[in-house]
Structure 1
Amino acid sequence: MMTLCIMMMFFLGNMIFVSKHKHLLIVLLSLEFIVLSIYLMMMIYFLMMNYNMYMLMVFLVFSVCEGALGLSILVSMIRTYGNDYFQSYNLLW
């Protein structure tokens, strides 16, 4: 039952990420939701197989770096363009 809930979290996060949204913040939150579901799935798998939890710490470090990078891009976009709308600027320039 728990695995089904985590799989639904993963697919819901992917559906939000793939759908077209106006704001970058929603896309970043969906990415963090996907990372959280992958973390929970890895934790359940490692607990069932009696593996060491060291890889979960490495995964958390990379996910925090990904979140910090996304927030820094968001802040630089807001400072440059004044908002986080995708339609307000051209990415080809």
Structure 2
Amino acid sequence: MYSLFFMFVSGLFVFCSFRKHLLIMLFSIEYLVICLFVLFYMILVLYSFDLSVILYYLVFSVCEGSLGLGVLVNMIRSHGNDLLMSLSILSW
């Protein structure tokens, strides 16, 4: 359980420290989703609940990942890189 907590905290650290690049942020969000999935699975197995709830969690996490990749592709096509600092409202 401590190793799972350490994994989650390290994912949060990466998410907060590399906030300039969208791709690295998407990777760290997916890492956090996987850590939460493992924690959620362990809790459900420990208390012997129904595991069908995990399917809903996975569906929403896949939708979140595909939405993030779509935003990344559109941003690279329009601006040429994934740096969040290159986005500006005045550049239109």
Of 82, 85, 91 in structure 1, the residue corresponding to residue 83 of structure 2 is: 85
Greater Cα shift, 9-18 or 40-49: 9-18
Q: TM-score, normalised by structure 2?
A: 0.91
Q: Which residue of 1 aligns with 2:10?
A: 12
Report if aligned partners of 2:21, 2:82 keep a CA contact under 8 Å in 1.
yes
Q: Deviations over 1:22-43 (max 9, x none)?
A: 3110000000000000000000
CA distance in 2, matches of 1:51, 1:38: 17
CA distance in 2, matches of 1:7, 1:66: 23
- Equivalences for 1:61-76 in 2 at 5 Å? 61-76=59-74
Q: List alignment gaps of at least 5 residues for structure 1.
A: none
Report if aligned partners of 2:22, 2:72 keep a CA contact under 8 Å in 1.
yes
Aligned residues: CA RMSD: 1.1
List structure 1 runs of 4+ shifted beyond 3 angstroms.
none
1:21 deviates by 3.4
Report if aligned partners of 2:12, 2:28 keep a CA contact under 8 Å in 1.
yes
Alignment: residue pair count: 90
Q: List alignment gaps of at least 5 residues for structure 2.
A: none
